[in-house]
Amino acid sequence: MSDIITLKATVREAGHKLQTLRNGGSIPATLFGRGIDPKNIALESRDFARAFKIAGENTIIALSVDGGKPVNVLVKETQMHPLTNRYTHADFFQVRMDEAIEATVPFAFVGVSPAVAELGGVLIKASDEVDVTALPADLPHTLEIDLGLLKTFDDVIKVGDIVLPKGVTIEGDADTVIALVEAPRTEAQMAELDEKVEADVTKVEKAGKPAEEPVEEVKK
């Protein structure tokens, strides 16, 4: 790793009110890992947001607690406030650099599909991430997917087509589809689709319309 992402944290004392902590610009977090006791910590919310934006859940962060020696961690889980979209909690997993781990790596779609640019097709991204296993230092931040491989409507990019960095293996089915291009709809297909939509709307209107009450005849 060329650029090390760093974070500083402090031990969170038992009984510390979490809302008070958040109101002060910090977030509560938990540090855990194999062979270590879980530790409640706190860190600056803005610092965490900046680091997590770069690292995501598959890039090592050097975390220092109370000024101690930094340990290598991955962000395992986060919680956000539903209204403010601010982080309210984070879990850090301390990793061993000599032990392979599993992580989810997002795809980075690059290039332009000739089937889209030249044939007018519609790009379909069937998947946007994959689970991999690697040593922490070998974990890729993203896996590149070259859309230029989709030259015709018959071309498909599958998990097995991914060019993996050294030391990285994929967990899952190699035949899982990542991306493809669908042919554009013809005018006849579009007209047929419009007819189906209109028919469905008519059915909904009839189903939702209350039955008319019979009109009583007024005797003279």
pLDDT tens-digit readout, 1-42? 447 899 999 999 877 788 888 999 999 999 999 889 999 999
170's tokens: 């994929």
Compute the mean pLDDT over every residue in the chain, rounded to the nearest whole number: 88
Is the pLDDT at 117 greater than 90, yes or no? yes
The pTM of the whole model exceeds 0.95: no
CA angle 27, 43, 14 (to 5 degrees): 70
| pLDDT for residue 160 | 95
Full set of structural domains in the chain with CATH = 5-94 (2.40.240.10), 101-182 (2.170.120.20)
Task: Give the confidence band of 220 by pLDDT, cuts at 50, 70, 90.
Answer: very low
pLDDT of residue 194: 65
The residue among 155, 142, 14, 136 whose CA lies nearest residue 75 is 136
Residue 104 per-residue DSSP state: E
Convert the pLDDT of each residue in 169-218 to its tens digit: 999 899 999 999 999 977 666 677 666 666 565 565 555 555 555 555 55
Rounded CA separation 196/189 (Å): 11
Asked if the model's pLDDT at residue 155 lies above 80, the reply is yes
The two three-digit tokens of residue 198, written as one number: 């209109």
* Angstrom distances, CA of residue 54 to CA of 45, 51, 78, 94: 15, 5, 15, 18
The pLDDT tens digits for 51-92 are 999 999 999 999 999 999 999 999 999 999 999 889 999 999
Question: 188 to each of 43, 120, 171, how far by Cα in Å?
Answer: 60, 17, 43
Contact in structure between 110 and 146 (CB atoms under 8 Å): yes
The pLDDT of residue 193:
67
Q: Is the pLDDT of residue 48 over 60?
A: yes
